[in-house]
Structures are given as C-alpha cells and as structure tokens.
Structure 1
Amino acid sequence: MASPSPRSPNGEGRLPVYGTKVAGKDDTAVLDVEKNRRTRTKTPEPAEQRNGIATPNPPAVLEPFDWDDFEVRYEKALAEAEGQEREVLKEAESLFRYFEAWSSAASAHDDKRAVKRLQTRQRYINISEQRMAQKQQHYDEVMRAFESALALLRST
C-alpha cells in the first residue's frame, strides 16, 4: 500500500512553496524565492525621484541653426557619394568585361574540346564498324571454305 503524500502547509493537494517545511522531511528550509523577490524590489515614490537627483536646466535660448550651411554640406556629401558610386560602377563594368571575355574564351575552348570528343567517338565507331565488317567477311570466307570441303567429301 502506498504511503500518503506529506501534507502541504499550503493546503490539501498543493505543492509546498520553497521556504516552507514539510512534516516528516528534513528540517532544513529552502529560501522562498517569491518572498525575497517581493521584499527586494521596491518602487520608488515620485517624491523620492524628484528630490533625489536634480536635473540640469535646459538653456533658455537655443542658438539659431544655419540651414543653408547644412544644405550645402548635405549636397556636397551627396555629390561625393555619387562620385564614389560612379567609380564603383566603372570598376564593376570593367570587371564584368573581363568576366565576359573569360567566359566566352572558356566557352569557345569547351566547344573545341566537345568537337574533338565527338570526332574521336566517330572515329572509334567507324573503326569498330570496319573491324566488324572484316570479321563478317572472314566468317563468310570460313563458311564458304567449310561448305566447299563438305561438298568435296560428299562427292567422293
């Protein structure tokens, strides 16, 4: 028969909370995490926030901003960026031309190799067909020789 589960100090059928002692278990208590969390965190009062640290006062008058100078600097920066972009595009175009030349040369080289492979295969097939024709002719001659030998044996 199974022994009944220890009674929880939190109520029937509930698991014990850390920091509580269970009857019949070790008397060592484990810290209650939830309890410590509540005691450690404290929301400061609005009065404490205001009185604690003084914020610096903002300047009363802001200096006027030179928008014309800002616009000139902005246009100058855009022009520089556009110049750099043009240089990058020129370099990319040059590199693309090199790539195009390389790829067309590689393609032409591959085409030449493919033609040579095809010619080699055609030669191999032609030679094989010639050998087969020679063997066929040889077998035909051998058959005629046997037939003539049989005909001679029958006549005698």
Structure 2
Amino acid sequence: MGAGDKMQTHSRIPSRKSEANRVKPTTEQRGTLENESQLKERIKDCDWSELESTYIQMMEQHEKAEGELRDQITKLLQVFTAWSQTTVAHDETRALKRFRTQMNHVQNSEESLEKKRNHYIDVVKAFESALALLNDRVRP
C-alpha cells in the first residue's frame, strides 16, 4: 500500500465531521424530491398550447363564477337596501304618531290649565263681589 492507497482508503471512509454535517432528508423532503423529479419529467412531455388553452378555459370559468357571485351580491344588497328603507319609513311613521300624541297631550294640558285659570279668576271675582256687597251692607 502506497501513499496514494492510503488516501483513497481514507477518502472512502467518511469522517465523523462530514457525517455530522450531512443532514438526512426527512420523509417529507424525500417525497418532495420525488415529486420534483416526477414534475420535471411531466414538464418535458407537456403540450404548452394545451396548457395555455386549459388555463384560458379555467380563467373564463372563474370569471363567470365571479360574475354570478357579483350578481347575487347585487341582488342581496338590493334586498337589504329595501329592508333598511322600510325600517326607516316605519320608524319615521312611529315617530310622527308619537309626536302627534305628545302635541295633543300638551294642547289638552294647556286647555285644561286655561280652564282652571279662568275658573279661579271667576271664583276670585265672585269673592270680590261678595266682599263688596258685605262691605256695602256694613256701611250704613
């Protein structure tokens, strides 16, 4: 065994340092590597014009689906708008009725107070007249 033989033997035996630096691929990484190699093979055999037409068809399908969703959302928004306007109109009607009721109550209260005031004025006038009559009788 010459010096060259020792080098070859030594190079065949992995050192502990190189083993520590090597990372064994995990099952997931091995699967990914296999998938990549399969993908590379499939890409070589790929018909690019067919891929382009498939892509265009799928994009048209997605565009159509988006349009349908947009139409549905528009219809739902119209329903929601109508519902919210109905609610507002109903609330406005109730508020108007409540305002009218309050106005009637205030007017009735004011009329009642005015009647009481006039009654008390009449009572005071009657007492004043009675006192005036009594005073006239008392003065002979």
Partner of 1:97: 78
Offset at 1:110?
Answer: 1.3
Q: State how far apart, in whole Å, the 2-side matches of 1:139 and 1:95 are.
A: 65
Partner of 1:143: 124
- The superposition leaves residues 38-82 of structure 1 with CA deviations (integer Å, 9 ceiling, x where unpaired) of xxxxxx6225667x89x99x79x9524322222112111111111
Identity of aligned residues (%): 33
Q: State how far apart, in whole Å, the 2-side matches of 1:49 and 1:75 are.
A: 47
Q: State how far apart, in whole Å, the 2-side matches of 1:128 and 1:110 are.
A: 27
Q: Matches of residues 40-119 of structure 1 in structure 2 within 5 Å?
A: 45-46=17-18, 63-119=44-100
Q: Which sections of structure 2, spanning at least 5 residues, go unmatched?
A: 1-15
Aligned-residue Cα RMSD (Å) equals: 2.8
**Stretches of 4+ moved more than 6 A in 1?**
none
- Which structure is richer in relative contact order (CA contacts within 8 A, separation 6 or more)? 1
- The superposition leaves residues 97-122 of structure 1 with CA deviations (integer Å, 9 ceiling, x where unpaired) of 11121112112111111111111111
Would the alpha carbon gap of residues 103 and 151 (structure 1) be closer, same or farther in structure 2, given more than 3 Å must change?
same
Q: Which amino acid aligns with 2:17?
A: E
Q: Which sections of structure 1, spanning at least 5 residues, go unmatched?
A: 1-43
Q: State how far apart, in whole Å, the 2-side matches of 1:153 and 1:66 are.
A: 128
TM value normalised by structure 2: 0.67
Structure with greater proportional helix content: 2
